[in-house]
Structure 1
């Protein structure tokens, strides 16, 4: 039996695509670059803010890249996530898991302050036992370092944890960390993309995910 469920954030617990799109476009316009579409935004997310900005610039070499990245991070972190929504059923799933004694954690490539803000807004009554965003000196997903640090903080063994995420980055993360994982199909990526990343277990709905977790 598992003791800990580690969730990805964007595309797994919260649909934040419109807010991310609005803020990356605000950033692009500010610095004189063309806007990108919502579909492009969804395709570009998954590896943190730096990679998102790099992809949104579409090969342009910006000498002031650091300034652009800082503007985006500040814009997004303080936007209040007005268009973001928790996916239907995920709060109920988290509450049910906690009632049954599971530890809950979140691991995101979003900066720590933004991760804290989103979790505090959408999940105040089922706040995870560990919320781990992008931190200085810690490798981001798909590296397994964040997972290992969460396990250490919560005193959980690898075989007692399962990772839940919607993207290729998440699949590679749980593989790299050496823990079990489940890929959800309601987020930003499709089954074929996840299979290509190494995913072998899938959940169509939060109810389906609960049953998959219980089978471990």
Structure 2
């Protein structure tokens, strides 16, 4: 089976790096955020969508300015303010050794996703890392997964998407891919099931069991 793993909120917990980089961008633009503001909802959606909501604007120039400032910090510091979820490496070993082929499928730009995967020593488990382009191409999860299926030459019927947010489930459903939601990330069971999750699991070790059902 081909297993597609989301990155943020599924393999790693990126909150500190993302939140600090968002706050840096907003402060630079004169839109400071209180230090106790909860930015967990920003983990998962395309960054463009998050800044549009945070800035309360549809001004493309302002949104792109925020993204550029964000990336200046994230690309040097923020991407390493991150940690692997407990038991993820062990689960990846088990799945790989069982004969599954693993891929990363993230809305995060590939250039950042690859550095994060290598930094945490996870590259050995994945055949490829698929992310978006810096210009926004494939930041929508449905587009990303369609591109992944085509470029890797794999069939939706032989593929499973594993992620923690509704974008993962919606994108996979639109491509005819089986969907598993993980509950250790940033999405709730209600969010995942309402978006099309066909199974939800609470711990990485439950992944193999979920595939066997």
Query: What TM-score comes out, normalization by structure 1 length?
Result: 0.88
Say how many residue pairs are matched.
Answer: 212
In structure 1, the residue corresponding to 2:157 is in which secondary structure?
helix
Alpha carbons 2:131, 2:138 under 8 Å: kept: no
Distance change in 2, residues 1:150/1:31 (3 Å): same
Measured in 1, the distance between the counterparts of 2:36 and 2:167 equals: 19
**Aligned counterpart in structure 2 of residue 187 of structure 1, from 170, 185, 188:** 185
Alpha carbons 1:164, 1:181 under 8 Å: kept: yes
Gaps of 5+ in 2: none
In structure 2, the residue corresponding to 1:47 is in which secondary structure?
coil
How large is the Cα RMSD of the aligned pairs?
Answer: 2.1
In structure 1, the residue corresponding to 2:106 is in which secondary structure?
strand
Moved more, 111-120 or 146-155: 146-155
Give 4+ residue runs of structure 1 displaced > 6 Å after superposition.
Answer: none
Give runs of aligned pairs for residues 116-195 of structure 1, distance below 5 A. 116-124=114-122, 126-135=124-133, 136=135, 138-143=137-142, 145-195=143-193
Aligned equivalent of 1:94: 92
**Aligned counterpart in structure 2 of residue 203 of structure 1, from 188, 193, 201:** 201
Measured in 2, the distance between the counterparts of 1:173 and 1:164 equals: 11
Query: What TM-score comes out, normalization by structure 2 length?
Result: 0.90
Give runs of aligned pairs for residues 54-93 of structure 1, distance below 5 A. 54-59=52-57, 63-79=61-77, 81-93=79-91
Measured in 1, the distance between the counterparts of 2:114 and 2:206 equals: 27
